[in-house]
Structure 1
Amino acid sequence: MEKPKIHPYIPILIGVISISLSAIIVKLTEAHSSVIAFYRMLFSILIMSPLFFSKYVNEIKILSKKDWLFSSVAGIFLAFHFILWFESLNYTSVASSTVLVTLQPLFAFIGTYLFFKEKITIKTIASGAIAVLGSFLISWGDFRVSGSALYGDILALIACALITGYLLFGQDVRKRISLITYTMVVYSISTVCLFFYVLITGESFGPYPTMDWVWFLLLAIIPNLLGHTIFNWAVKWVSTNVISVAVLFEPIGASILAYFIFSEKLMTTQIIGGVTVIIGIMLFIIDLKILKGFLKKVLD
């Protein structure tokens, strides 16, 4: 395999910073969560359209009824993931919300166990227990502050479960079509779902301050197209585990930015709980033999 022109870890770092900006940008907007989600997805598909229609549109023909069904479910899950996660940021801190969303690998394991009968190992149980303990510490600390903060934590957890469902329903379809086509289909379905949700709930599509439109566009470009596209490029050169572990640094980046931009200070329970969650998920993702070998090299 040819070597990349730049070390993959550099784009991965850019990707982590990009997705870390998502929660920050959402908190900077004045619009309702569902409206933010709608414009994020709408601008994403508008930006992708020229490339899709020029090179990939014919792939639509190979989608079966099952593919359309699974893609539709994935798109709906993605839509409500954004609605609930964005809404959680109105009640709880950036740190708590982003840390709880990183529990995605555990929700994925539960889904693959229930639907694909994957085996449960001692390592899985142990790492899962550690991560759950961390999320409990965060929620307990937030509850002590206010009931609304706990409500925000619950919304973030549900949003985490929904993004896992989005990935599980989409993985089968993704095997048969390109990333561009799959993303375009699912994002389009998600956009339609969000459009009707905003319509039914009576939220306004506009007008909004000029800066809100800038934030909507930046949400589409930075975390959606730049952040995740970089990860999709990097996976060609590095292990998926490297990407998964890198994503765990999103809460750290988001928390640092929230401290400087919104003066959000971290409580002791958030720090301890967040570190516990990240350790648990990291143990879940990384092969223990690899981890032991790495630690031995560091200690030696």
Structure 2
Amino acid sequence: MPFVVLGIGLLAISFGAILARLAQRHGLPSLTIATLRLGLAALLITPIALWQSGRALRTLNLRQGLLTAGAGFFLALHFATWITSLEYTSVASSTALVTTNLLWIGLASFVLFGDRPRRLMAIGIVISLAGSLLIFWSDSRTSAAGSHPLLGNFLALVGSWCFSSYLLIGRRLRASLPLPAYVWLAYGSAAIFLLFACQASGTSLTGYAGAAYLVALGMALGPQLLGHTSYNWSLKHVSPTFIAVVTLGEPVGSAGLAWLFFAESFAWLQGIGFVLLLVGIYLAARGEGQ
């Protein structure tokens, strides 16, 4: 069941970059997109969280509160940097780099928690990372990379570091909280951090076309609530390292959707990279099953 849930979540999350690019074309600033995505998701799940996890929320202790703040801070940074990266580089490069959290989580899990990946998991990590690097290298050679590929790629990489930190903190927090409570706290606290960022930078949340808000709502319902919540649910059943491996499938889905909606073509080297990603995910799934 965790593998099925993660597959559904991956499909939903693959639409994230597409919807973010659409929102940008409707005039929404990247910081506004990130704030609306998380804020609307938190509002939509509030009744469920209060109904199913009211007791857990009322008895929240100091440690859980601090972990929530930390998770929300890194989740806010993840979306702020990654969505901004889409202004400067292609969907393929952005999603390939932002999903390199596998490497950072694997290293951090080994250093901080002593988690040793099994042999198949390790092989899957290497193959998946090779696929990501091949996609990035191929994309950087094309003229469709974006207005400032170096900046966009760096922002996507920062987004990967932040999402890795979010997953590692969530591993501890999710173990002691029901899913609705954890999701509501994580998304809500991240939205609050982003609201402060909008206020400090003078970024407005109002005054845009209705279509832009519909796209933002779609991001909250699909990639955020369905996609990221699937990952959060799975944290209690599989390791953060394996979830990071699954996220490497996002460039495959996002690049295909970008080709369909925005005519962002990809070279044959990228196709090889997508195949390597899928093979790596399969091997890591076998290793996780062991």
> Which TM-score band (shorter chain)?
0.7 to 0.9
Residue 202 of structure 2 corresponds to which residue in structure 1? 202
Residue 44 of structure 1 corresponds to which residue in structure 2? 41
Which of 267-276 and 34-43 deviates more?
A: 267-276
Which of 103-112 and 161-170 deviates more?
A: 103-112
2:133 to 132, 136, 151: 136
Distance change (3 Å), C-alpha of 1:225 and 1:121: closer
Counterpart of 1:27, as a letter, is: R
1:80 to 71, 77, 102: 77
Distance change (3 Å), C-alpha of 1:76 and 1:90: same
Equivalence map 1:272-283=2 (5 Å): 272-283=272-283
Specify every segment of 5 or more residues in structure 1 that has no aligned partner in the other structure, as ranges: 1-6, 291-300
Which of 29-38 and 15-24 deviates more?
A: 15-24
Distance change (3 Å), C-alpha of 1:196 and 1:94: same
Q: Aligned partners of 1:70, 1:60: CA distance in 2, in Å?
A: 14
Q: Aligned partners of 1:191, 1:81: CA distance in 2, in Å?
A: 12
Q: Aligned partners of 2:288, 2:197: CA distance in 1, in Å?
A: 44
1:229-264 Cα deviation digits (max 9, x unpaired): 456778999999997776544322222221121010
Alpha carbons 1:134, 1:272 under 8 Å: kept: yes
> Aligned Cα RMSD in Å?
3.3
Counterpart of 1:87, as a letter, is: T
1:222 to partner: Cα distance: 1.0
Which of 146-155 and 85-94 deviates more?
A: 146-155
The number of equivalent residue pairs is: 284
Distance change (3 Å), C-alpha of 1:147 and 1:139: farther
1:66 to partner: Cα distance: 1.8
Residue 158 of structure 1 corresponds to which residue in structure 2? 158
Secondary structure of the 1:286 match is helix
Given the alignment of the two structures, is residue 193 of structure 1 paired with residue 187 of structure 2, yes or no?
A: no
Which of 104-113 and 146-155 deviates more?
A: 146-155
Residue 97 of structure 1 corresponds to which residue in structure 2? 94
Structure with the greater alpha carbon radius of gyration: 1
1:43-73 Cα deviation digits (max 9, x unpaired): 1111111122233222123322221111111
Specify every segment of 5 or more residues in structure 2 that has no aligned partner in the other structure, as ranges: none
Residue 28 of structure 2 corresponds to which residue in structure 1? 31
Alpha carbons 2:85, 2:94 under 8 Å: kept: yes
Given the two structures, how large is their TM-score scaled by the length of structure 1? 0.80
Q: Aligned partners of 1:11, 1:65: CA distance in 2, in Å?
A: 31
Given the alignment of the two structures, is residue 173 of structure 1 paired with residue 173 of structure 2, yes or no?
A: yes
